[in-house]
Structure 1
Amino acid sequence: MDFKYSSEGYNSEQSYKEFKSAAVVCNNEVTCTVGKNILTEGGSVVDAAIASMLTLGVVSFQSAGLGGGFYMIYYNAETMEDYFVDAKAQASHAVDGDFYTGNEYAMTYGRSSICVPGELKGYWEAHKKFGKLPWSRIFEPAIELAENGFKITAGCETWIRVTVPKLKENKRLRSLVTRADGSFKKAGDIIVRPEYAKTLRHIVKHGADEFYNGSMTNDILKDIHDGFGFPSSISHDDFAQYKVRIEESVKMTLNDDHTLITSGAPSGGPVLAYILNILNGYHFTEEDWKKNRVLTYHRIVEAIKFAFYKRTHIEDPYFSDEVDELVNQMTCEKHAEEIKRKIDDCRTYSSEHYGEKMAQVPNDPGTAHVGVIGPDGSAVAITSTINHPFGSNVVGERTGIIFNDQINGFFFLEKSEDSLTYSKNQIGPGRRALSSTCPTIILNNSSTAATVKMILGGAGSARIINSTALTIMYHLWFGMNINESVKSRRIHHIWDPNTLEIEKGMDEETIQGLKNLGHKIEMVSGYLSTVQAISRIPGNKIAAKCDCRKGGYPDGY
């Protein structure tokens, strides 16, 4: 579906700024300023990222909040160590996959679509390990906005208009976003979230354990089970047993000059790394972009198709010994060279050329990203999601939490007389679904010490992976500055269906050239995801770019 957000009152020139010491990017200027303020008070980049994301969970409630989960990449410049924090929502231990087969409503809307949220536990563990400022200070901006009110963004208005009218049962959500005259609220209207503010205050006082194994757990469970739709299998034990995973990041070298650090399985990080690993062998330069643009795009598309086929084999690594081996293969230079040799410069092929028929992976379009670089050179990239916009559409009467619909992120096996579609990403007790999000940090390789070159991530379902990859290529390989890299037209392919999506505005010569190579093209009038990016540029300055497709102004100092 194509979306065009209103740009009224938005100054796109302010979406790019340069700073001397630190910067924060996301799709909302208020949350960028929150993160900047935390850094000026001596907070760590993790403190700033959590404060920004908590605030984003209030104002961009269609995409993030305590009812969801996140992936975080953290790089400590002093120790030169990196961490991958997996705090994504998790299926209950009593979940029954057969119940959801053929029941799109149950997996997408209402209490049956909800997984155990990991967002708060992830913040708690990350702050304990990497934070500096008091827990209470991190929450202050989010509480103030939830209590006193905030303006609806153009993006939120669009999702209200597109999503909320689909259901009659989502009464509490409708109440939150409806004016006194019965019409839906629009950009600039004020929303207050008093129940959510109380929840945040309670967490400040009692900590995350109160959310996962305390009296608040009972309120959360009541909110879930009082919701509409089919019953939920989530129990108190599911909350009490939820654990944050702090794992090794996925890492690989980019053309000897840079090191990519991204999130591991079951995120989109391994797929991002695989695309870049295949294309590494071409040793792209600015000349390839200027003189051989059609061929360059063709090679990129072909690499994407191989990568998205491989994506269908990824699942929660805690439930399969094969996933680590698969990810190692995807980051292996020798294997990437073998795949590169399968790319034909003269034509594209049908989906079967890239791999046997597999079930496609569900999308996770309700996402929000924050990037932070601090004065010490440390950095965070964090992407949060409640899956679809407004998640399950269930809003807690007691807590004000908008709960995820992460069940929809799994694949449900269906058999027919003439085919058997299959995916590794199947639901099961305690599992975490495959995701497209891929928060990423890129380092400059040096004989003395590595420094952060880029921080980026995005929102927009499976398109996140390709948009992030293109932004990296535009900037590091094709000579564009970070402003141009984020603004440039994007392409998208997911292997099957065999259709290449292109943002309107790309030059006709390139489009026709791709058609001549056999690509079936669909022009997209809206945008292909959004990317938030930071880059260290000559003069030891920091360039920060918020994607003007969606809005937001970076902040820093």
Structure 2
Amino acid sequence: MDTTTNQVPGAELSGENARTIENEMKSSISANEASSNRREMTPLKKAKELLASSNVKLSEQMQGLKVILGVTISSGLIVTIALIVSIYQGDPEVLPHGGCSTATPHCSTICAETLKKGGNAVDASIAATFCIGVVNPHHSGIGGGGFMLVHNHKSMENTAFDFRETAPRAAHPSIYENNPKLSIKGPYSVAVPGEVKGMEAAHKEFGRLSWSEVVMPAVKLARNGFVASESFVKNMEMVQDESAEFLAAFTPDGKIPPVGEIMYRKDLANALETIANEGADAFYNGSLSLEIVKATKKFISLEDLREYSVIKRDTVSTTYGDHAVLSIAPPSGGVILLSILNILNGYHFGPADQHSPKTYFKLIEAFKYAYAQRGSLGDPSDREFREKIMNSTNYFLSHEAAKTIREKINSMNYTSDYNISRYMPSSVFREDKGTAHVSVIDNDELMVSVTTTINTWFGSHLLTKSGILLNNEMDDFSTSKHLNYFDIPPSQVNDIKPGKRPQSSVVPAIVHSLRAPCDLRLTIGGTNGSKIPSGIAEVLINILSFKMDLQTAVNVPRLHNQLFTNMTEYETNFNETIVKALSRMGQNMVKQKKAINIVQFVAKNYSAITAVSDHRKGNYSTVY
């Protein structure tokens, strides 16, 4: 990145500036020498004058001596200039080359090691994503899918990969009409996985290392062992009544390991090694694909797997203050995040506003209006609803919509009565708890935000012979004859059709300054299903409006409201004075002992890189 117009202490001088200084120093040195010649007789000057006065002809040896003396003087001059330039610059500041933020120390380390080996941010994010599937199988894995946003900050080019799971050919709403639980667990809950093809597609376009080099670290981890995390152990305790076959994949002796014990997933290591050697074809048209068909009792067919494709999506954006915020178009949840920020941007919050209950009233109402839009969003590949989805996306990200919503919020006079008719029609979907996020920035200004999921904890609870845990993304679709989790009628836009992708809450995002290209920019994302957009929005407001330092912006307690639950959840230690004031304003405040959401990001400000992970899930991030 060209930083010549934004010089910072410790940064290298541009070539033009260095040449200017060097020429000035040469002129200064020449002038000093001329002045010195007038004032004193140096040994060299005296020798020259004696030779001239004696009219002595220089011998060939003296000519040689003259050359040597000339070279010596020139060399000394160059060294002097170099020393002066060095003094002028000062010692160069040693800054990180890249940063990684994941939810596990193993995967943050693998991410950083990939960068150290010469890989770029895409290589590192792929390596970290495969790692997460090994150590946190309850959240993510190659049996799921997700979204990746790649931003080249030098060229300002954006690339969005949609590797969301798709409904198989055999999928039909009638399957779930009489038994909606079939979409939550078992073979009929599994949609065609997209993660492996998604990673391969991103690698083919951006990767610097070989495919094998980015997959093998996860293979070695699964085979040689890794430390059981607190998150994994707690989630295993929730499913300890599962079948012996299921438990054996994670606990060979049938006992849940204590936190810190070494675990192995050798079957999965073999599957990943096959993928490392043969590419994604092994998963979609090879031995691993046959295992998936068998595990789902042919609900997913070989044709479904062979025909799966990664989709390049448009990016969507809005502005918040003097920063651009980018995310991925539907079926990702990016529009929800951007709508929240689009609404709140008109309030021009500053640091003092973080202490006012009125600020949080506006924030909660913005959440409600943004989440109300989900009923208008879905997979734009569904031709029946494509126009509606695109029109809704464009409208809700417009200044006109934001202004209209702010006027409605202002007209409430800080009094909320939970009148749903005040908000747009919508539906809300079940929370996809099983989610993982990776943020990476490399030294070449490539920024990656990738979020993957298997939907709920441990997905479908189905494993293939090779230990691949399959998703339960069919539950993210709407079923026409059943109310959803929050007793709200389902959305036709998100109904089940073969080859269709369900609406998602996943929000990979990139933020960069519109004022100066080298000013604060970051890659950010989160986990915990439908609560992801609100969490990311709060962290960005903490940074960009309230001017909190980066770690504090993540650490402070958060709140959440998605309209149809008729409650505003808030975390322990949230300011009780503000909570009481919001209650008086009509907000139904409900304290949550557990984390509402998890947010992770990597930020770069000029040359300084900071990787930030959420203390709610372990604070695992690294720079190198």
Asked if TM exceeds 0.5, the reply is: yes
Residue number in structure 2 paired with 1:439: 508
State the distance in 1 between where 2:169 and 2:118 align: 41
**Equivalent residues in 2 for 1:68-467 (5 A)?**
68-165=144-241, 167=242, 170-178=243-251, 180=253, 182-225=254-297, 233-255=299-321, 257-290=322-355, 293-319=356-382, 320-321=385-386, 322-343=388-409, 344-355=412-423, 358-397=426-465, 399-414=466-481, 421-423=489-491, 424-446=493-515, 449=517, 453-467=521-535
Distance change >3 Å, CA 357–CA 414, structure 1 → 2: farther
Greater share of helix: 2
State the distance in 1 between where 2:416 and 2:380 align: 32
State the distance in 1 between where 2:249 and 2:291 align: 19
TM-score (norm 2): 0.81
Distance change >3 Å, CA 386–CA 81, structure 1 → 2: same
Residue number in structure 2 paired with 1:39: 115
Is residue 52–residue 370 contact of structure 1 (8 Å, CA) maintained in 2? Answer: yes
State the distance in 1 between where 2:471 and 2:240 align: 15
Distance change >3 Å, CA 356–CA 135, structure 1 → 2: closer
- How many residue pairs are counted as aligned between the two chains? 522
State the distance in 2 between where 1:526 and 1:338 align: 35
Residue 49 (1) aligns with residue 128 (2): no
Is residue 378–residue 389 contact of structure 2 (8 Å, CA) maintained in 1? Answer: yes
Give how far 1:535 is off: 2.0
The one-character-per-residue Cα deviations of 1:342-374 (angstroms, maximum 9, x if unpaired) are: 002421131424336644312111000000000
The one-character-per-residue Cα deviations of 1:233-258 (angstroms, maximum 9, x if unpaired) are: 21111111111011221111222x11
- For 2:480, the aligned partner's letter is L
State the distance in 1 between where 2:403 and 2:532 align: 24
State the distance in 1 between where 2:127 and 2:419 align: 43
State the distance in 2 between where 1:477 and 1:87 align: 33
State the distance in 2 between where 1:73 and 1:93 align: 28
Give how far 1:194 is off: 1.5
Q: Which is worse superposed, 547-556 or 302-311?
A: 547-556
CA RMSD between the two structures: 1.9
Give how far 1:216 is off: 3.2
Point out the structure with max Rg over C-alpha.
2
State the distance in 1 between where 2:512 and 2:401 align: 23
Give how far 1:146 is off: 1.0
Q: Which is worse superposed, 136-145 or 103-112?
A: 103-112
Residue 555 (1) aligns with residue 622 (2): yes
- For 1:454, the aligned partner's letter is L
Distance change >3 Å, CA 446–CA 44, structure 1 → 2: same
The one-character-per-residue Cα deviations of 1:415-474 (angstroms, maximum 9, x if unpaired) are: 69xx99231221111111111110111011146x46661211111111111111100000
Residue number in structure 2 paired with 1:4: none
Distance change >3 Å, CA 279–CA 420, structure 1 → 2: closer
Residue 22 (1) aligns with residue 95 (2): no
Is residue 115–residue 121 contact of structure 2 (8 Å, CA) maintained in 1? Answer: yes
- For 1:137, the aligned partner's letter is E
Distance change >3 Å, CA 158–CA 104, structure 1 → 2: farther
State the distance in 2 between where 1:413 and 1:70 align: 25
**Equivalent residues in 2 for 1:531-546 (5 A)?**
531-537=599-605, 540-546=607-613
Residue number in structure 1 paired with 2:552: 484
Residue number in structure 2 paired with 1:9: none
Q: Which is worse superposed, 114-123 or 101-110?
A: 101-110
Is residue 351–residue 495 contact of structure 1 (8 Å, CA) maintained in 2? Answer: no
Structure 2: state its 5+ residue gaps: 1-93
Distance change >3 Å, CA 102–CA 280, structure 1 → 2: farther
**Equivalent residues in 2 for 1:1-16 (5 A)?**
none
- For 1:133, the aligned partner's letter is L
- For 2:445, the aligned partner's letter is G
Is residue 414–residue 420 contact of structure 1 (8 Å, CA) maintained in 2? Answer: no
Is residue 493–residue 499 contact of structure 1 (8 Å, CA) maintained in 2? Answer: yes
- For 2:182, the aligned partner's letter is A
Is residue 454–residue 472 contact of structure 2 (8 Å, CA) maintained in 1? Answer: yes
Residue number in structure 2 paired with 1:15: none
Distance change >3 Å, CA 412–CA 351, structure 1 → 2: farther
SS of the equivalent of 1:462 reads helix
SS of the equivalent of 1:316 reads coil
- For 2:244, the aligned partner's letter is K
Residue 474 (1) aligns with residue 542 (2): yes
Give how far 1:143 is off: 0.4
State the distance in 2 between where 1:404 and 1:499 align: 29
SS of the equivalent of 2:522 reads strand
Distance change >3 Å, CA 451–CA 122, structure 1 → 2: farther
SS of the equivalent of 2:616 reads coil
State the distance in 2 between where 1:311 and 1:420 align: 12
Structure with bigger RCO (C-alpha 8 Å, 6+ apart):
1
TM-score (norm 1): 0.90
State the distance in 2 between where 1:420 and 1:210 align: 41
Is residue 482–residue 534 contact of structure 1 (8 Å, CA) maintained in 2? Answer: no
Distance change >3 Å, CA 376–CA 224, structure 1 → 2: same
State the distance in 1 between where 2:186 and 2:414 align: 49
Is residue 482–residue 490 contact of structure 2 (8 Å, CA) maintained in 1? Answer: no
State the distance in 1 between where 2:599 and 2:482 align: 38
Identity over aligned pairs, percent:
31
- For 2:497, the aligned partner's letter is G
The one-character-per-residue Cα deviations of 1:110-161 (angstroms, maximum 9, x if unpaired) are: 1111110000000111100011100110012100011112111000111111
Structure 1: state its 5+ residue gaps: 1-17, 226-231
Is residue 101–residue 414 contact of structure 1 (8 Å, CA) maintained in 2? Answer: yes
Give how far 1:390 is off: 0.8
State the distance in 2 between where 1:171 and 1:154 align: 22
State the distance in 2 between where 1:175 and 1:215 align: 22
State the distance in 1 between where 2:564 and 2:178 align: 21
Distance change >3 Å, CA 345–CA 450, structure 1 → 2: farther
